[in-house]
Amino acid sequence: MEKVLIFDTTLRDGEQSPGYGMTAEQKLVLARQLEVLGVDIIEAGFPSASPEDLEGVRAIARTIKHATIAGLGRCNDVDIEACARGLEPAEKPRLHLFFGTSQLHLDAKTGLSEDGALDLIVRSLRFGKKFFDEIEFSPEDSTRTNPDFLVRTVQAAVDEGARVVNIPDTVGYTVPDEYRQRMLMLKEKVKGIDDVIMSTHCHNDLGLAVANSIAGVLGGARQIECTINGIGERAGNASLEEIVTAFRIRNDILPFETNIDSSKIYGTSQLLSALTGVGVQPNKAIVGRNAFAHEAGVHQQGWLKDRRTYEIMTPESVGAPPAKLVMGRHSGRRALAARLNELGHPLGGASLNHVYDRFLKACESGQALDDDELIALALDNKPPPNPRYSIYMVQASAGSVHPATATVMLQRDGKTHVACALGDGPVEAACTAVDAITGHPGRVVNYELRAIGEGRDAEGEVALRVSMAGKTFSGRAVGTDIVGCSVRAYVSAINKCLDVLDEVKPPQVQAVEQPDDAPPQEARA
Ligand code: KIV
Ligand code: ZN
């Protein structure tokens, strides 16, 4: 097996993309984790970009002992000197110089001719050698660079002593076979190329960054530049976790190994999300929350018999939490029985059928049931002991003028009850209105709101726990209206609380006539 070096650029290409900015302190935390993960090279930043960037690079260079620390610079003395200052404390420093070599970049950015660009590159490499033993050179936009000029550029870099030559697909334009051919072409035409390391650096504009990186390795590259969670400019860079796992799982046809400790992958991904506040898309390969979740009944059945039917790797192998069966409307009877069994409630025969029917009913709103709710179903084969509330309408208003107000209509036994309340915010106001109707105020002991996906129209998931009469019950709801979701989650938890009370008060406000125009809302009970 051949070794492929992992060059992580989360702290440079990743950090420079919108929403992923980190403080110097946060960068250091991530750099430490990258070292634990086993990356060979950490690109710590772009020291000439700002004094803070330079300080961030210096702090990482001072702290990290095993990995090589790279700093990025353009082909000018100021950038090279900034890299020298930033990387001065590093045990293993590397200068990473780049210059746009495609005709488009030459015309639009520098106005240099090909010969003029080559002179500048050579001059910069010579200047860089005064400070660094190890230099990497990147002809930016390599995949749109005239192949003959690319050969001349790479030849010049090799002749000037660059130890690594990177072939960036800066705009995510290439496709796997073309990229592999480009590597092979350079291998064939550049003298002395076998003495340097060729590197891939692929962006994901066509969703091909990982495939292209692997193709680049098949063409002779032995370093891959990539990022955690695939973050990076525009559509991102090649994702570290996907590449490393592809090598591990498809070793039969990809005989390459890396120094990455796969069991640290998930933790590193989570750490990046926590530091930046940007979650991972749920269906992201390897590290997404759904990467090891099975909901379809047929899949669940196969998976229960032999996990390999629908899993090519175990979640444990990448440090992710154990696989889970999502208990939603696509789940089959057997999966429900298996989950209940795991939760300590073995059921079979008629009682399983009965619980399964109620389970399907509870999933009608499209939401999956959490463990508490499954246990409640299993414990309770009979109709709920006490009457339950469902939400008819929630209307809240909040803004810069306090307090917030909310009007809530709940139904019980076919009658509608309405209450209005004030609160510090709309959620508090609406929950207070619920309490005014039920007469059984709940104490929210835990409230979590999480965006599912990104953007202003992302859905929110509310998960909360309510304590009443010495017991705690959970509620959960998903939707774009986060106040409505909060009330649905709250009412769901309150209903579970009421089930265990010996005596439930009647609604504390008079029933009103049900308005015709209010949209009914589901509160799963
Ligand atoms: O995408 C790119 O070309 C880069 C270079 C600076 C390596 O990030
Ligand atoms: Zn890049």
> Which residues lie across from 477 on neighbouring strands?
462
Domain boundary pick from 276, 302, 320:
276
Same domain (yes/no): 261, 175: yes
Confidence of residue 477 (pLDDT cuts 50, 70, 90): confident
Rounded to the nearest integer, the mean pLDDT of the chain is 91
Ligand 1 atom with the shortest distance to the CA of 225: 7
Residue 64 lies in a domain: no
- Answer whether 155 contacts ligand 1 (Cβ < 6 A): no
DSSP for residue 110: I
Which residue, by CA, sits nearest to atom 3 of ligand 1? Answer: 170
Relative to beta strand 404-412, strand 256-257 is unpaired
- Which of 140, 142, 169, 205 most suits a substitution to test ligand 1, by most atoms within 8 Å of the C-beta? 140
pLDDT at 518 over 70: no
- Answer whether 98 contacts ligand 1 (Cβ < 6 A): yes
- Answer whether 138 contacts ligand 1 (Cβ < 6 A): yes
Ligand 2 centroid vs 202 CA: distance in angstroms? 7
Cβ atoms 71, 96 nearer than 8 A? yes
Cβ atoms 200, 225 nearer than 8 A? yes
Same domain (yes/no): 196, 104: yes
CA distance 154 to 185: 11
Classify 237 as helix, strand or coil: strand
Question: How close are the terminal C-alpha atoms of the chain, in Å?
Answer: 56
Residue 410 belongs to domain with CATH number: 3.30.160.270
Ligand 1 centroid vs 95 CA: distance in angstroms? 14
- Answer whether 168 contacts ligand 1 (Cβ < 6 A): yes
Q: Which residue segment(s) compose the domain that 331 sits in?
A: 293-378
Ligand 1 centroid vs 92 CA: distance in angstroms? 21
- Answer whether 201 contacts ligand 1 (Cβ < 6 A): yes
Ligand 1 atom with the shortest distance to the CA of 140: 3
Alpha-carbon distance values, 443 to 290, 412, 490 (Å): 31, 21, 10
Same domain (yes/no): 337, 303: yes
Residue 82 lies in a domain: no
**Could you tell me what percent of the chain has a pLDDT over 90?**
65
Residue 282 lies in a domain: no
Ligand 1 centroid vs 140 CA: distance in angstroms? 6
Residue 67 lies in a domain: no
Alpha-carbon distance values, 26 to 60, 93, 192, 272, 465 (Å): 11, 21, 40, 9, 31
Amino acid letter for position 31: A
Average pLDDT over residues 259-284: 91
Residue 212 belongs to domain with CATH number: 3.20.20.70
Which residue, by CA, sits nearest to atom 1 of ligand 1? Answer: 170
Count of structural domains within the chain: 3
pLDDT at 383 over 60: no
CA distance 199 to 183: 9
Other C-beta atoms lying within 10 Å of the C-beta of residue 142: 25
Residue 224 lies in a domain: yes
Same domain (yes/no): 353, 212: no
Residue 52 lies in a domain: no
pLDDT of 464 reads 87
Other C-beta atoms lying within 10 Å of the C-beta of residue 37: 28
Nearest to 14 by CA among 41, 59, 44, 39: 44
Other C-beta atoms lying within 10 Å of the C-beta of residue 358: 16
The DSSP H or E segment spanning 306 is none
Same domain (yes/no): 154, 33: yes
Which residue, by CA, sits nearest to atom 2 of ligand 1? Answer: 170
Nearest 5°: the CA angle 72, 74, 80 is 70
Cβ atoms 148, 182 nearer than 8 A? no
- Answer whether 199 contacts ligand 1 (Cβ < 6 A): no
- Answer whether 170 contacts ligand 1 (Cβ < 6 A): yes
Residue 78 lies in a domain: no
DSSP for residue 203: B
Chain position carrying tokens 């009647």: 506
- Answer whether 16 contacts ligand 1 (Cβ < 6 A): no
Same domain (yes/no): 401, 459: yes
CA distance 407 to 431: 10
pTM, two decimal places: 0.72
Q: What are 419's two structure tokens?
A: 């209450």
Amino acid letter for position 43: E
pLDDT tens for residues 102-135?
999 999 999 999 999 999 999 999 999 999 999 9
pLDDT at 323 over 80: no
Same domain (yes/no): 340, 368: yes
Of residues 487 and 414, more confidence is placed in 487
Residue 285 lies in a domain: no
Same domain (yes/no): 368, 401: no
pLDDT of 525 reads 31
Ligand 1 centroid vs 142 CA: distance in angstroms? 10
Relative to beta strand 459-468, strand 443-452 is antiparallel
Of residues 300 and 128, more confidence is placed in 128
pLDDT tens for residues 203-262?
999 999 999 999 999 999 999 999 999 999 999 999 999 999 999 999 999 999 999 999
Same domain (yes/no): 372, 408: no
Same domain (yes/no): 335, 465: no
Average pLDDT over residues 291-296: 85
Q: Who contacts 416 (Cβ-Cβ below 8 Å, separation ≥6)?
A: 392, 409, 410, 511, 512, 513, 514
Domain boundary pick from 313, 345, 378:
378
Average pLDDT over residues 181-186: 98
Same domain (yes/no): 261, 306: no
Confidence of residue 519 (pLDDT cuts 50, 70, 90): low
Same domain (yes/no): 250, 153: yes
**Helices 209-218 & 240-249 angle (0-180, nearest 10):** 50
CA 164 to chain centre: 30
Domain boundary pick from 276, 303, 338:
276
CA distance 95 to 480: 47
Average pLDDT over residues 79-107: 98
- Answer whether 144 contacts ligand 1 (Cβ < 6 A): no
Which residue, by CA, sits nearest to atom 5 of ligand 1? Answer: 140
Confidence of residue 522 (pLDDT cuts 50, 70, 90): very low
Ligand 2 centroid vs 169 CA: distance in angstroms? 8
DSSP for residue 320: P
Which residue, by CA, sits nearest to atom 8 of ligand 1? Answer: 13
CA distance 477 to 483: 10
Ligand 1 centroid vs 196 CA: distance in angstroms? 19
Nearest to 154 by CA among 209, 80, 212, 101: 101
